[in-house]
Structure formats: C-alpha cells, structure tokens
Amino acid sequence: MSNTSAVAEGGSKKRGRKWVIIVAAVVVLAAAAGTAAQLFLRSDGAAAAGNEAGARAKKVNPVFVSLDQFTVNLADEGGERFAQIAVTLEVANEQVDKAIHARMPSIRNAVLLLISSKKADDLLSLDGKKALAEEIALCAGAELGWQPSGAPEGGSAGPQGTEAGARTPAASDRKNPIEAVHFSNFIVQ
C-alpha cells in the first residue's frame, strides 16, 4: 500500500508541475501581449499627439501685423457718425509680414475706404463685425496680389483701380495670406 501511495503522490507532483508551467506560460504570454498592445497604442497615440503638436506648433508663434487705429466718418446720412477701429492682421509667415510693411500705405488706404463705406448699423452687430473682418482680410489680401478663386479674370478693376488681369494667374490658386483679422479697439459713435 505504501507503494501505491508513493506512486499517487509522484503522479500528483508531476500534474502540479504541469499546471504551474501552463499557468506561468499563460501569464508570460499575457504579459507579452499586454506590453505589445501598450507599445502599439502608445506609438499610435504618440503619432497622433505628434501631429496635433505639429499643428499647434504652427500656431504657437503666429505673426501679427498691426495696421494701427483707423478713425473714419461713416456713410450714415448727416455724416455725424464715426468709427474708431484698431486692426491687427494675423498672417501666414514672415514673408507676408514684410510684404504688408512694404505695401502698408496702400493696405491702410484700402481698409480706410472700406470702413468709411459702412453705416453704423452695419458695424454694431456681432455679425456686422465678423463681416467687416472678412472684408478686411479680402481687401488686404487683394492689395498683396491675392485674388479669391471666384474673382473675375482680366478687365475688372481691383482695389484702388489696379487691374486684376495684371496679377499672376497663380494668384487665384493660392490661399489668402491674411489668415485672420483681429480688432483690438472698436468704437462706433
């Protein structure tokens, strides 16, 4: 009987070792799979984070160009209403900044004429201010030689009498170099 119990104990020891080995193998495989999944997800997340960081890096140091303050009479009847507006342009890069400074008198003139053509009621609402900002961006972009893609080619006079046809054909294919218009002061009286 002692022989049988020794054999039974030996068999259960072998079975116990098998289970330990199987459990250890499963744990190692699970750990390896978890590590691989974590590395895979981290690399995708890092790439996505890198893309977001790259996109933010482009906007981290934006280039702003101040057009100073405009004080103009508005187009209201009686001519007693005026606007005092300080405009800052957000531009694509340093080259655009230099181009704006080189053409500053003509850009200021175009913006001055644009604002003076408005009525007080046009400028008092939020939508009116947003529309003015868009018009200033188009106007300043046009002074730099840019045209909206839907603008008519040749023969139509651009801002201040410049011929649209005199501009380069690729000018309408480019993005407006004026990315945004910001108001730092906006008074209508």
26 pLDDT above the threshold of 90: no
| Contact predicate 159/141, CB 8 Å | no
What confidence tier does 25 reach under pLDDT thresholds 50, 70, 90? confident
Q: What is the pLDDT of residues 42-69, one digit of tens each?
A: 765 555 555 555 555 555 588 999 998 9
Mean pLDDT of 91-95: 91
- Measure the CA–CA gap between 134 and 126, rounded to whole angstroms: 12
167/149 Cα distance (integer angstroms): 13
Q: What is the mean pLDDT of residues 168-176?
A: 62
Residue 171 in tokens: 């000018």
Q: Rounded to an integer, what distance in angstroms lies between the CA atom of residue 149 and that of residue 146?
A: 9
Shared-domain flag, residues 79 and 36: no
**The domain that contains 181 carries what CATH number?**
3.30.479.30
Mean pLDDT of 63-76: 94
pLDDT confidence band for 10 (50 / 70 / 90):
low
Q: Which of 19, 39, 61 is at the close of a domain?
A: 61
Residue 61, pLDDT score: 80
Q: How many domains does the chain have?
A: 2
- Tell which residue, 84, 87, 65, has the closest CA to residue 184: 87
* Arithmetic mean of pLDDT over the chain: 79
Domain boundary among 19, 43, 61: 61
Rounded CA separation 108/111 (Å)? 5
Q: Kindly report whether the global pTM for this prediction surpasses the value 0.85.
A: no
CA distance 104 to 137: 14
> What's the confidence (pLDDT) of residue 124?
94
CA distance 181 to 134: 7
Whether residue 151 sits in one domain with residue 90 = yes
| Domain, as residue range, for 57 | 1-61
